[in-house]
Amino acid sequence: MNIGNKLLSYLYNLIKPLQAKIFLFFCLIATIITFIKYKSIGVLFIQFVLYYLIIDEIHCKLYGGCIVGSWLVTIIPLLGIIIFILDYLHIFNNIKQYVKKLFTIYDTVTPENKLNFEINKINIPL
């Protein structure tokens, strides 16, 4: 079996459950709207990655075998705990001061404390 057939078989098994099909239907609608509104391949790529992770999580919850999900669920809280401990030990004081300085510069530079960025000639306010 070549790589293409293995990939197609994997994707077919991933979207086999009804829950994944319903989610995929709404994903397609959101993807079409995103492409019409932003016309950005980067935004579409990020959307596809997020949708894949969610469909993989649906499949994992239904059938088990959650290797990637179990690692993510383990690593992300551990990183949060490590950051919390390092912050308690005052490791991030210099970084905090630098970020505060950046925020004060941001507040003085931006009009009305807002910054807009543009994707394909569409202004998106922050």
Residue 29 lies in a domain: yes
What's the pLDDT band for 53 if we cut at 50, 70, 90? confident
Residue 37 lies in a domain: yes
Residue 54 lies in a domain: yes
Residue 44 lies in a domain: yes
Give the whole-number percent of the chain exceeding pLDDT 70.
87
> Across 26-30, 58-62, 107-111, which has the greatest mean pLDDT?
26-30
- Indicate whether 118 pLDDT > 80: no
Residue 84 lies in a domain: no
Residue 57 lies in a domain: yes
Mean pLDDT confidence for 65-86: 80
Per-residue pLDDT at 115: 60
Q: Return the axis-axis angle of helices 41-63 and 18-38, rounded to nearest 10°.
A: 170
Helix, coil or strand: residue 125? strand
- Indicate whether 92 pLDDT > 60: yes
Residue 42 lies in a domain: yes
Tokens of 17: 């459950």
- Indicate whether 49 pLDDT > 80: yes
The closest alpha carbon to 48, from 32, 59, 37, 36, belongs to 32
Residue 18 lies in a domain: yes
Q: How many domains does the chain have?
A: 1
- Indicate whether 113 pLDDT > 50: no
Q: What are the counts of helices (DSSP H) followed by strands (DSSP E) for the chain?
A: 5, 2
